[in-house]
Amino acid sequence: AQKITQTQPGMFVQEKEAVTLDCTYDTSDPSYGLFWYKQPSSGEMIFLIYQGSYDQQNATEGRYSLNFQKARKSANLVISASQLGDSAMYFCAMRGTNTGNQFYFGTGTSLTVIP
């Protein structure tokens, strides 16, 4: 079974600072994908970044980067130069190649950017 753990229910960051949102996972699949989504107060789920389990390099998408440590089974999201519009819920998700295409989500982290 797949399991995603996000241990930070809420985080605060000063505008323009960097913040790391933690995500650990557990899976027996040899190959898997890790995803981060942003959910603003309006409710939609916005895809941010993807990391494949066999990718040699950490994924980056603009101000988002993923600190992937396979041995530790962690896939932390780093947001650089935080902006007020980054205030939202952030969900880590995983898909295992042996368990179909369904996503398993963590409980989320609420990020508040302080001006």
Dihedrals phi, psi of 86, to nearest 5 degrees: -80, -10
Task: Please work out, in degrees rounded to the nearest 5, the angle formed at the alpha carbon of residue 68 by the alpha carbons of 66 and 74.
Answer: 110
Minimal CA–CA distance to 90: which of 8, 27, 1, 2?
A: 8
| CA 45 from centroid of its chain's CA atoms | 12
Q: What minimum distance in Å lies between the beta carbon of 91 and other proteins?
A: 6
Of the candidate spans 13-21, 65-73, 79-87, 92-100, the one that interacts with other proteins by CB under 8 A turns out to be 92-100
Stretch that binds other proteins, among 13-21, 63-71, 80-88, 93-101 (CB under 8 A): 93-101
CB of 113 to other proteins, least distance (A): 21
> Taking CB under 8 A as the criterion, which residues in 16-75 touch other proteins?
33, 35, 37, 42-47, 50, 52
Q: Which residues bind other proteins (CB under 8 A)?
A: 33, 35, 37, 42-47, 50, 52, 91, 93, 95, 100-108
